[in-house]
Amino acid sequence: LTRRASSSSFHTSGNVNANANATAGNNLLSIPIATVPAASEKFRVQLNVAGFNPDTIKTRVEDRRVIVEGKHEERQTNGDFSVREIRKSYDLPEHADSANLASFVTPNNMLVVEVPINAPQLQRRASQTIADSQALSLFGQFRDPIFDYPGFIASADFRPRLIDIGNGQKSIKMALAVKNYQPEQIRVSVKNNQLLVQAEHNYNDNNRSERSFLTKSISLPPGTQVDQLKSFLNGEGQLEIEAPFIEPTQMRSIEVQH
């Protein structure tokens, strides 16, 4: 995976978010294609809260953001006192089930916040599916009867498109939000036409430590030339993925088992 040059700034978005900022540079950075195991989708934040009483750490959801706040006071008999406060906010990814937010402090003073990610149910009427016929026609007349073409082009995460680039050539293009992740923190893999994107960000200093994770996957349609798949990270925090597409020339037959 490479980064496309841009001067824009971008912020974290994904299964777990961390509020680190990064500015896209002018050079191209490579991210290797690898085979990695899939993981269940969940928003997770890990924050070092050493020095705070766990009872004073509060978490809440406000305007699609997780807010973490804490306050610790130390007072002496001579009237001197010290106060420590913390406030962190994290953007919730799309389809996060904020009603089921869970948080706890581990014995090693790590605050863990988790929110499940619900895969959106595609409740599309037959008329809507018919309206997609023009987009589906680009896949050719010999489409695989097993593959869910309408579900593929309706993916809200990857926003797939099949583009006719002329001279009889076609290309599948997708874009996935991966804000705040650097190219070296993102892994793109393909196995059995299943595209998997995983990212992990770690931040540590003397006062706190954070980790953020992102896992997204999508099945690619037959005819996708996965060996020629390329990915780029643009300045808006979008992972652009593209691969040539060759239209099948005959209908796939399925044997009826006795």
Matching CATH number, 121-245, of 1.20.1530.20, 2.60.40.790, 1.10.10.10, 2.40.30.60: 2.60.40.790
Which pLDDT score is estimated for 217?
Answer: 92
> Token pair for residue 219?
């099945």
- Fold of the CATH domain 42-116: Immunoglobulin-like (2.60.40)
Terminal C-alpha separation, the chain: 46
Average pLDDT by consecutive 10-residue portion of the chain (258 residues)? Answer: 42 34 36 38 82 88 88 84 86 84 87 80 46 74 83 89 88 91 91 91 76 88 93 91 88 61
Strand locations in 205-236, DSSP E? Answer: 209-219, 230-233
pLDDT, position 47 = 84
CATH 2.60.40.790 domain position(s) in the chain: 42-116, 121-245
The pLDDT of residue 97 is 86
User: Quick one: tokens of 136?
Assistant: 């589906």
For residue 191, give the 3-state DSSP assignment: strand
Residue 198: the pLDDT is 92
Task: Report the DSSP pairing between strands 2-3 and 42-48.
Answer: unpaired
